[in-house]
Amino acid sequence: MPIFDMKNIPSKSSRPPEKPLIMLVDDEAENLNVMRQLLAADFQVITALSGYEAIQIINNMGDAGKIQLIISDQRMPKMSGVEFLKLVADKIPDTIRIILSAYSDTQVVIDSINKAEIYKFMTKPFDPGELSLTVKRGVEAFQMRQQLFKYSTHLEKLVAERTQELHQKNEELSQALHALEQLSLSDQLTGAYNRHFLDKFMPQEINQFKRKYKRHLGKRGYFGIMMIDIDHFKAVNDNYGHDAGDKLLVGFTKMLQQNCREEDWVVRWGGEEFVIITRGLSLTGQQCLAERLRAKIVSKEFDIGCGQKLLKTCSMGLVCFPFIKNSFNALSWQQTLNLADLALYQAKNNGRNTWVSLCNAHLTQDEHLYENIMNNLQTLIGNNLISYHSTHPGSHITFNTIKHG
């Protein structure tokens, strides 16, 4: 059997734990010696002959919080035990405090509890076994309190970390939902708004516009609806392919967005059709916007790929909401949008590369208003009930009425 074995060398982890640090305070040296001999086997002991000396020791310590328990005599000159332990409670509040007194003084007990917040009141002469057990239980209470504090701090840290993680996850989820919402509200090809966007936000905008309209008695312009269609778009797909058609749609959308106001909405309605929503423009302002867009588009060379460029035109139909002034319930915004579509059809039927604007002249609200306009537009214009404006007002106009369900 080998004489030397590495296992017999004690490791750092096998060292006995450091003894708890306690303090004894008594103006009689004999009492201090008795208590020190009684407790030295299990504790590190600091002694002081007065409260002042003990406070000075505490003040000069690097970490007075290491003192786990203090036993103090009550009857000491200049500073009583209660007064001393009250100072201790302010400086190192977690330290367990025990007071000794040779007198059965009820007021001392009350003061000890109320002022010094002692752990236990013991009388002299003390029983050594009782004192030793009391100190051990007091140190255990201190250590248990420290462990609970560490555990509570650890839990608070975990809760804070989890809360932060949850906040971050919620933020990420919110951003993902926002991105998903944006995707659902935007046309994937052109980046313009889509029908879903219009269905979601148009009612809110209409309600807000109603309040502003009523507050300013209609002097803030109209809620304009413009339907736009790229002329002869199908021929682009047939002659150059759908990729060329997609590039044309992207370029056309960019042209609309660049020439509309920031507060206007550019919506891809479907295929080569677009809707522009304007707020606060007068009828004349909408017509000026339509003419500016028409002129910009007719002079723009659209890149359709492979080094090829095309000149295109568009047709537009314009209406205002409310169609009948001060009567928001006469036609819904969807019905008004259909009137813009009807105006667009008239523009395409009369040579394209033009805009047609329809507005109420002398119509009044009735339950058949929408059907009457959709089915009898030419008659209503002829009777000066609806005003008809176009890019070229003096040109000959041919009417073809579309019947909408």
In tens, the pLDDT along 290-311 reads 999 999 999 999 999 989 999 9
- Residues 53, 62: Cα–Cα separation, whole Å: 16
Asked whether this chain's domains 14-149 and 195-390 adopt the same fold, the reply is no
Please measure the distance between the N-terminal and C-terminal CA atoms of the chain and give it in whole angstroms.
Answer: 106
pLDDT, tens digit, for every residue of 181-240?
Answer: 777 899 999 999 999 999 999 999 888 877 776 666 555 567 899 999 999 999 999 999
Q: What was the pLDDT predicted at 395?
A: 44
> pLDDT band for position 149 (50/70/90)?
confident
Q: What ranges make up the beta strands (E) of 102-256? A: 120-123, 222-230
The encoded tokens of residue 199 equal: 């269905």
DSSP state of 194: -
Q: Is the pLDDT of residue 336 over 70?
A: yes
> pLDDT band for position 260 (50/70/90)?
very high
Rounded to the nearest 5°, which phi and psi values hold at 118?
-75, 160
* Domain locations in the chain as residue ranges: 14-149, 195-390
CA 84 to chain centre: 53
Q: What was the pLDDT predicted at 210?
A: 79
Rounded to the nearest 5°, which phi and psi values hold at 133?
-65, -40
DSSP state of 324: B
Residue for token pair 């905008």: 205
Return the bridge partners of 23, or none: 46, 70
Under 8 Å CB-to-CB from 332, ≥6 apart: which residues?
none
Nearest Cα to Cα of residue 271 among 243, 233, 307: 233
> pLDDT band for position 129 (50/70/90)?
very high
- Residues 271, 100: Cα–Cα separation, whole Å: 95
Q: Answer whether 320's CB lies under 8 Å from 282's CB.
A: no
CATH number given to 14-149: 3.40.50.2300
Under 8 Å CB-to-CB from 318, ≥6 apart: which residues?
224, 225, 226, 227, 286, 287, 290, 340, 343, 355, 356, 357, 358
Given the candidates 3.30.2130.10, 3.65.10.10, 3.40.50.720, 3.30.70.270, the CATH classification of the domain at 195-390 is: 3.30.70.270
> pLDDT band for position 325 (50/70/90)?
confident
Q: Answer whether 78's CB lies under 8 Å from 51's CB.
A: yes
Quick one: average pLDDT of 157-168?
90
Q: Where are the alpha helices (DSSP H) in 266-404?
A: 283-298, 333-349, 369-375, 377-382
Q: Answer whether 380's CB lies under 8 Å from 373's CB.
A: yes
Return the bridge partners of 273, or none: 229, 270
Average pLDDT, the chain: 86
Distances (CA, A) of 7 to 16, 17, 33, 214, 286: 17, 20, 41, 94, 95
